[in-house]
Structure 1
Amino acid sequence: MSEYSTLRVSSEHGVAWIVLDHPPVNALGTTMMRELRTVLTGLRDDPSIRVIVFASADPGFFIAHVDMHIGEEMDVLQELAASAPADVNVFQAIGELIRHQPQVTIVKLAGKARGGGAEFVAAADMTFAAIDTAGLGQIEALMGIIPGGGGTQYLRDRVGRNRALEVILTADLFDAETSASYGWINRALPADELDDYVDRIARNIAALPDGVIEAAKHSLPADDFKEGLLRENDAWVPTFSLPAAQHLISGGPAGRGTNTGRRTRP
């Protein structure tokens, strides 16, 4: 497959492996968003690919957060927005592309996924995470905003309204076992078992008889969050104009709640 600057893409036995590789912390910027769009759009019509697995080249981070300097690339953002589906913003477009991919999408989560990274995880069909090393957090509230890339809708669908509010308003880092108990991810596994488990699951699904994956995804379609995504965007956009948010965003998320408030399994 083609080479990308922030992704490593390969395929074998009906499984496409997309490894996020954008040092130092896999921040979700315009280049990664563009490349994810390109590779996922290309895979949509590839009948040889039946499963897509997302992983990270960085053992510490899946996606640390959205690139804090992304606002300085307004021309690229406007280009991405112009090519996004109607009724979603440029960040929501990534999650919606993942959610509506015809292949089964799986996240192998060894490290931390925060902000836009956590939204990415919740958009995938399945997620398997490493105990003790993986973590999930919607950290936007620490910067005076709310999730704006589909997180509010994906969370409510996954964990319910009460826990979605807890996740968003505490901005805590939730460990793999708690995330699994909440329904945010599928399963928490010992770190030394994660690779083999995801590899086996992906290969087994890809080897199913013709039509089974299509029938399952047709019977269990991704929910239509059109109205919810519009509400999220309408609530998210005005927060950027608040002075407190501008000050916090300019400082980035580092050091604010990223290693505190760690939630352990009840």
Structure 2
Amino acid sequence: MHTRYRSETSMNDAYPTLRVNREAGIVRVTLDNPPVNVLDVALMGDLRHLLTALRDDDSVRVIVFDSANPEFFIAHVDMSLGDTPEALDKLAQNLPDGVNVFQALGELLRHQPQVTIVKLAGMARGGGAEFVTCADMTFAAIGRAGIGQIEALMGIVPGGGGTQYLASRVGRNRALEAVLSADLYDAETAERYGWVNRAVPADELDEVVDRLAHNIAALPEGVIAAAKHAILPEDLAKGLLRENDAWTGQIMRPTAAGLIRDGLAHGAQTPDGERDLEGLLRRLAS
């Protein structure tokens, strides 16, 4: 089914945390949720609504994601949600079977019919790293991009699909390393591990992604659908259930709540605190 687009102005009005622009066959989505693009209820809701709206639009062949903040793609899930769990109630309505609210976003992106590409020029941790790993392709800027699953430093494990998506990308041994080290991986290491498609010089990132997006969008009718049908996402249903059980078991512990609150009190989710969030949380835990 073909969906007629609203104007770019009306689209941006509909998605307050996103800037949405389109050209022939390509929709460009710029994440804009100051100060650090935290993955909060508003950003999750906007992303879910946009991806759902685009699913049946056969005029769109490629979706490219980038960030309005040059330092942060998506910082991580909003750490304050632990104190306001009711904020997730609306997102939790009509979820697909077998996934939590965070996994639902990843599964939506992972099964999007269009080709999805992340232009990673800043940092993506936790839920941000999960979003990156769900996209079909990611290109990371050398010297600027960073990606990591930081949850262990908060006393939890990834709960938005990260354990499953990462193992599917890089293998069990490297997934365990990334989850338990809770380190921030640079673009070259992420490329070597298979976490991203390619690490490219920062001043070439736009050109590399734009060329690829235009070339894919210009392919003959049916090629993208055929390729995505042939190269299916792995079925992770059982793994996502195991992950949710593991995450739920940890997030309910007083230790996790204390570490998360201490992180917020000492600068997490501010630009200064987020620049070395791993160091901040390690100092609090020592």
Q: With the length of structure 1 as denominator, give the TM-score of the two structures.
A: 0.95
Instruction: Give the % identical residues.
Output: 63
CA distance in 2, matches of 1:142, 1:194: 31
* Match for residue 130 of structure 1 among 125, 137, 141: 141
Do 2:154 and 2:281's aligned partners in 1 also have CA atoms closer than 8 Å? Answer: no
* 1:249 aligned partner: 260
* 2:223 aligned partner: 212
| CA deviation map 1:114-157 (0-9, x unaligned) | 01000000000000000000000100000000000000000100
* 2:156 aligned partner: 145
1:84 is paired with a residue whose SS is coil
Question: Are residues 117 and 128 of structure 1, via their aligned partners in 2, closer, same or farther at CA, if it must alter by over 3 Å?
Answer: same
Question: Are residues 256 and 107 of structure 1, via their aligned partners in 2, closer, same or farther at CA, if it must alter by over 3 Å?
Answer: closer
Matches within 5 A, 1:1-266: 1=8, 2-3=11-12, 4-252=15-263, 253=268, 254=273, 255-257=276-278
Question: Are residues 159 and 258 of structure 1, via their aligned partners in 2, closer, same or farther at CA, if it must alter by over 3 Å?
Answer: farther
User: How far 1:259 moved relative to its partner?
Assistant: 8.5
CA distance in 1, matches of 2:240, 2:253: 21
1:228 is paired with a residue whose SS is helix
User: How far 1:257 moved relative to its partner?
Assistant: 1.5
Moved more, 75-84 or 40-49: 75-84
CA distance in 2, matches of 1:108, 1:85: 28
User: How far 1:12 moved relative to its partner?
Assistant: 0.4
Do 1:99 and 1:125's aligned partners in 2 also have CA atoms closer than 8 Å? Answer: yes
In structure 2, list runs of 5 or more residues that go unmatched: 1-7
User: How far 1:233 moved relative to its partner?
Assistant: 0.1
User: How far 1:32 moved relative to its partner?
Assistant: 0.6
User: How far 1:68 moved relative to its partner?
Assistant: 1.3
CA distance in 1, matches of 2:36, 2:43: 12
CA distance in 1, matches of 2:60, 2:52: 12
| Corresponding residue pairs, total | 261
In structure 1, list runs of 5 or more residues that go unmatched: 262-266
| CA deviation map 1:21-50 (0-9, x unaligned) | 011100000011111011100000001000
User: How far 1:5 moved relative to its partner?
Assistant: 1.1
2:79 is paired with a residue whose SS is coil
Q: Give the helix-richer structure, 1 or 2.
A: 2
User: How far 1:260 moved relative to its partner?
Assistant: 10
1:208 is paired with a residue whose SS is coil
Which amino acid in 2 is paired with 1:188?
Answer: A
Q: With the length of structure 2 as denominator, give the TM-score of the two structures.
A: 0.88
Do 2:121 and 2:141's aligned partners in 1 also have CA atoms closer than 8 Å? Answer: yes
